Amino acid sequence: MTDIAPDTGTGPVPESARLMRRATYASLGVAIILVLAKAAAWAVTDSVVLLATLIDSALDAIASLINLLAVRHAVTPADREHRFGHGKAEALAGLGQSAFIAGSAGFLLLESVRRLMHPVPLESYGPGLVVMGFSIALTLALITFQQHVIRKTGSTAIKADALHYRTDFMINGSVILALILAIEGWHGFDAVFAIGIAIYILYSSWAIVRQSLDDLMDRELPEEEREEIKRIANAHPGVRGLHDLRSRRSGIATFIQLHLELDDNLSLLQAHKISDEVVSQLQESYPAAEIIIHADPASIVPLEPVPEFLKD
């Protein structure tokens, strides 16, 4: 039995790190612009649904700032004290974000219910419509850039941020609808939509908690990804089989380790060559992954004790 761990590194390539940083700066910049614009519109219209989107944008700005700091730390290469890199910084930041978001959503929910019970006519519609139209256009531009970064890097942090802003895009559309309904004499819908936004924020905070805990607890990759790893490894003509596949993610980094079953008569050099080739194939799908391969002679595999949870 031989452990073969090709030198793969644990950090993203420089171009990926640069794109991820740009995406976090863009996200923070857009959030700050929207906070200023919505604050001005809310001061004029006194619309609670505009207050809802203002709070959501303020949360976006805080979340984007934390995400920026976390991504900057997460893409830092492994060092002597952190041999597996710094990817868990994203998960720790996520737990802090979720607590703040949940508290703000609770405040918004109470304010929306109060306004629903004691409605106040909106004083002005024009500024609200202009600002929300501007918000939709700016958010769409950000989402387009984020999708470009995701295609290039596969970053889970940017994926989560993009999903959040896609939902914001739909929420902003509902705000415009509420303002149009108010113009037509249908008042009170801004409070109704604001309650919906508050519930969405609470749901999103729980999703952040769950994702962060999965990261911190080293949850396995999804089953479809595990099956793809098996398919790639078994496709090599020198591989007779594999077992003891373990995997996890830590921020932007992926860690994969497995046992390859090889011919008994291979030399150590030949086994190393096959393992290197399997690693190269896996890294086409997981370019920033650290992959550790343990090479076993096929004849001894039935004799090795295997934990029950690894028998898959």
- Average pLDDT, stretch 223-236? 95
Q: Tell me: the pLDDT tens digits for 75-133?
A: 787 788 888 888 787 777 777 767 777 787 788 788 778 878 877 665 556 676 788 88
DSSP 13: P
Entry pTM: 0.68
Q: What is the pLDDT of residue 41?
A: 83
Higher pLDDT, 24 or 207: 24
Identify whether 9 is part of a domain.
no
Q: How many domains does the chain have?
A: 2
Return the CATH number at 227. Answer: 3.30.70.1350
Same domain? 236 vs 191: no
Same domain? 210 vs 233: no
Backbone region of residue 87 per phi and psi (left: phi > 0; alpha: psi in -120 to 50; beta: other values): alpha
Identify whether 266 is part of a domain.
yes
Q: How far apart are CA 208 and CA 20, in angstroms?
A: 19
Residue where one domain finishes, among candidates 181, 200, 216: 216
Identify whether 306 is part of a domain.
yes
Same domain? 194 vs 52: yes
Neighbours of 170 (CB within 10 A): 11
Same domain? 43 vs 85: yes
Q: State the residue range of the domain holding 294.
A: 220-310
Decide: 295 and 262 in contact? Cβ < 8 Å. yes
Distant-in-sequence, close-in-space partners of 32: CB < 8 Å, separation ≥ 6: 61
Same domain? 89 vs 208: yes
Sign of the C-alpha dihedral computed for residues 61, 67, 68 and 70 taken in this order: positive
For 77-102, letters b (16+ CB in 10 Å) and e give ebeeeeeebbbbbbbbbbeebbeebb
Return the CATH number at 150. Answer: 1.20.1510.10
Same domain? 67 vs 212: yes
